[in-house]
Amino acid sequence: MNQPLSITVGGASPYDVLVGRNLLEQVPSLLSGAKKVLIVHPVGLAVSAEALRDSLVEAGFEVVLAGVPDSEDAKRIEVAAFCWGILGKSEFSRTDMIIGFGGGAITDLAGFVAATWLRGVGIVQIPTTLLAMVDAAIGGKTGVNTTEGKNLVGVFHSPKGVLIDLETLNSLARNELIAGFAEVVKCGFISDTRILDLIESDIAQATDQGSDLFLDLVTRAIRVKAGVVAEDFTEQGLRETLNYGHTLGHAIELAERYKWRHGAAVSIGMVFAAELAHLNGRLSSGAVQRHRDILSSLGLPTTYPADKWPQLLANMRIDKKARAGILRFIVLDEIGKPTIMHSPTDEILFTAFQEIAQ
């Protein structure tokens, strides 16, 4: 049996994140106490989900599949209701469990379904995209989108465990992998600056999912997320730093009707936040340029159309991170030292946007 690296996410309901290769054989050990299991998966992963189901049936579980739309189309209350219907018809009890098998949208949805069915049943997350591995599947944030914004309906619900099998990335499209790197880079800018050094040292190896460097980067990003979540599960302060680049990023996703990849939007959001910090006298011009250089070297976008600013500003004001309509941005005092900027003026926001406008 392959021996994974185990990273513990502490807090009131601690759990382990298992990281390695060829780990799916270890899933049954994470389902202790359950008789029935619902696997929530995107329809595009139906074959892989069926193989996982067959292995769990062989291990003695009753398994039901719930094929749902891919990406953000999955994060709708109608899709959650579809999953609730399956759970009801299959007579799932409080001791039964759900598996989220897919990208970040799927793990968000599955977690929300688990948190709300019978006021909370167990969830095991098996992320299959880089974005989900280093961010969405870890931390217990769940949610669905509405027409008014992203993740406005949700609940905190810790998983029983997270299993990260890097082999599941082998079939992931290259652009999806690169989009996920935005969250890895984010962890470098807000905490573990060694991540940035390693990416700069060898882009090819850094983005090769079969390399030891790739495993190191993923592990480092997970440790950053795990450390923050353990200290601030319900986002009362420290956990907000994980939203670096996300305020504008979510506004872009809404403007694009969720057709953009999350990582691409966050990439632009990080450059915007860096420009905002620079205008506020917090961050050097060299640090701002380092944002552009690293993200551009990965093939991630760093600019956005100039004429979209009014819509983006309106979108940011309804983002869940705004309080009483007052915007708050995670910015850097220097690389590796995040802080909160309260109530920046419309003028400074507009000026910062001009630096990324195309």
Of the candidates 83, 159, 157, 171, the one whose C-alpha atom is nearest the C-alpha of residue 125 is 159
Active site residue 91: no
Q: What is the pLDDT of residues 329-346, one digit of tens each?
A: 999 999 999 999 999 999
246's tokens: 């996300």
- Spatial distance between the Cα atoms of 111 and 281, rounded to a whole number of angstroms: 40
Q: What is the mean predicted confidence (pLDDT) over 25-46?
A: 96
**CATH class (in words) of the domain with range 5-169:** alpha beta
Active site residue 183: yes
Task: Please report the pLDDT score of residue 148 as a whole number.
Answer: 82
What percentage of the chain reaches a pLDDT higher than 90?
86
Specify the range with the lowest mean pLDDT, choosing from 164-168, 170-174, 208-212, 277-281.
170-174
18's tokens: 């298992």
- Spatial distance between the Cα atoms of 49 and 56, rounded to a whole number of angstroms: 11
Q: Choose, from 183, 240, 253, 275, the residue flagged as catalytic.
A: 183
- Spatial distance between the Cα atoms of 17 and 163, rounded to a whole number of angstroms: 6
Q: Choose, from 75, 220, 250, 278, the residue flagged as catalytic.
A: 250
Active site residue 119: yes
User: Would 5-169 and 174-354 be classified into the same CATH topology?
Assistant: no
Residues 6+ apart with CB under 8 A from 332: 189, 190, 244, 273, 274, 277, 282, 283, 287, 338, 339
C-alpha dist (Å) from residue 138 to 24, 45, 271: 18, 21, 25
Q: Choose, from 78, 89, 91, 119, the residue flagged as catalytic.
A: 119
CA angle in degrees (0–180, nearest 5) for 14-16-17:
135
Q: What is the mean predicted confidence (pLDDT) over 222-231?
A: 93
Active site residue 174: no
Q: What is the pLDDT of residues 301-317, one digit of tens each?
A: 999 999 999 999 999 98
- Spatial distance between the Cα atoms of 102 and 106, rounded to a whole number of angstroms: 5
Residues in the chain: 358
- Spatial distance between the Cα atoms of 234 and 19, rounded to a whole number of angstroms: 24
Beta pairing class for 328-334 and 161-165: unpaired
> 174-354 architecture in CATH?
Up-down Bundle (1.20)
| Average pLDDT, rounded, for the chain | 94
Is 97 in a helix, a strand, or coil?
A: strand
Residue 322 confidence (pLDDT) above 70 = no
Active site residue 150: no
Task: Please report the pLDDT score of residue 321 as a whole number.
Answer: 62
- Kindly list the domain boundaries of the chain, sorted by start residue: 5-169, 174-354
Q: Do 80 and 144 touch, CB atoms closer than 8 A?
A: yes
Task: Please report the pLDDT score of residue 58 as a whole number.
Answer: 97
Residue 231's pLDDT band (cuts 50, 70, 90): confident
Task: Please report the pLDDT score of residue 132 as a whole number.
Answer: 95
CA angle in degrees (0–180, nearest 5) for 266-173-208:
85
Residue 2's pLDDT band (cuts 50, 70, 90): low
Active site residue 250: yes
Q: Choose, from 225, 261, 278, 291, the residue flagged as catalytic.
A: 225
DSSP single-letter state for residue 237: S
Q: What is the mean predicted confidence (pLDDT) over 58-73?
A: 95
Q: Choose, from 150, 246, 261, 291, the residue flagged as catalytic.
A: 246
Quote the radius of gyration of the chain (alpha carbons, Å).
Answer: 20
Residue 237 confidence (pLDDT) above 90 = no
Residue 356 confidence (pLDDT) above 80 = yes
Q: Do 108 and 151 touch, CB atoms closer than 8 A?
A: yes
Say which amino acid occupies 68. V
What percentage of the chain reaches a pLDDT higher than 70?
98
Residue 326's pLDDT band (cuts 50, 70, 90): confident
Task: Please report the pLDDT score of residue 267 as a whole number.
Answer: 98
Q: Choose, from 41, 72, 151, 243, the residue flagged as catalytic.
A: 243
Task: Please report the pLDDT score of residue 316 as a whole number.
Answer: 92
Q: Choose, from 262, 278, 291, 292, the residue flagged as catalytic.
A: 262
Q: Choose, from 36, 41, 53, 141, the residue flagged as catalytic.
A: 141
Task: Please report the pLDDT score of residue 324 as a whole number.
Answer: 60
Q: What is the pLDDT of residues 103-129, one digit of tens each?
A: 999 999 999 999 999 999 999 999 999
Residue 238 confidence (pLDDT) above 90 = no
- Spatial distance between the Cα atoms of 60 and 39, rounded to a whole number of angstroms: 15
Task: Please report the pLDDT score of residue 205 as a whole number.
Answer: 97
Active site residue 225: yes
